[in-house]
Amino acid sequence: MALGAGAVTPLQMATAYSVFANGGYRVDPVLISRVTDSKGHLVNEVLVPALTESRRVLDARNAFVMTSLLQEVTRSGTAARAQTALKRVDVYGKTGTTNDSFDAWFAGWQKTVAAVVWIGYDQPRKLGSRETGGGLALPVWIDYMSSELKGVPESEPPAPPGLVNLGGEWYFSEYAEGGGVTSLGLEDQLPATPQPEEKKGILDLFR
């Protein structure tokens, strides 16, 4: 599952990504939020629950750090067109392309909305050898968000307490300045710091 072997629906993916947009809270989606009669009188309305700690499913610091990482995807990674086209920096997300280009995804959000685009066939088959989430799904997401975010003020989340920024990188305060695990007892077997190739490989995971 961690390698992406499971199958999910776009609605499930949007629900998951909305946790980041909400700062760590889960809000279950509803398909119909409001019903009125022919005269405009309210018949039924689903009220959005308050974001209390009982709905928290992710630590606020984890949500913020992931937001920071996925902002870089829309700034200089596989979804760099997002910030350029939307002319705003408060958009975050991740492209996705399954093996053999059977599925093309883009899942992303802004503080007020999470949206997911999936492109594929009902009966799975290749989209094309060169098709990717960034090439197929991202333009659809940008088109939708350009309308959805029209007139919405740009807003980046503030860092929650317990995080520090050192050299442009976010750290949990208890792990900053050597406060985390410093040794696994393998110093004589492993290089003390990541080699350039290893560091590039790690950073490429977030592009």
| Angle made by CA atoms 13, 132, 115, in degrees to the nearest 5 | 30
pTM for the whole thing? 0.81
Quick one: pLDDT at residue 32? Answer: 92
CB 107 within 8 A of CB 93: yes
Per-residue pLDDT of the chain (207 residues; tens, 9 = 90+): 777 677 889 999 999 999 999 999 999 998 899 999 999 999 999 988 888 999 999 999 999 999 999 999 999 999 999 999 999 999 999 999 988 899 999 999 999 999 999 999 999 899 998 899 999 999 999 999 999 999 999 999 999 999 999 988 899 999 887 777 777 777 677 666 777 888 888 888 777
What ranges in 77-164 are assigned the alpha helix state H?
81-86, 138-148
d(CA 42, CA 10): 30
d(CA 177, CA 126): 48
140-158 exposure pattern, b = at least 16 Cβ within 10 A, e = fewer: ebbeebeeebeeeeeeebe
Quick one: pLDDT at residue 128? Answer: 92
For the chain, state the CA radius of gyration.
20
CB 120 within 8 A of CB 7: no
d(CA 162, CA 87): 31
Q: Is 180 left (phi over 0), alpha (psi -120 to 50) or beta?
A: beta
Domains and CATH numbers, the chain: 1-23+59-207 (3.40.710.10)
What ranges in the chain are assigned the alpha helix state H?
10-21, 60-76, 81-86, 138-148, 196-204
Quick one: pLDDT at residue 77? Answer: 94
Quick one: pLDDT at residue 197? Answer: 83
Supply φ then ψ for residue 80, to 5 degrees.
-60, -25
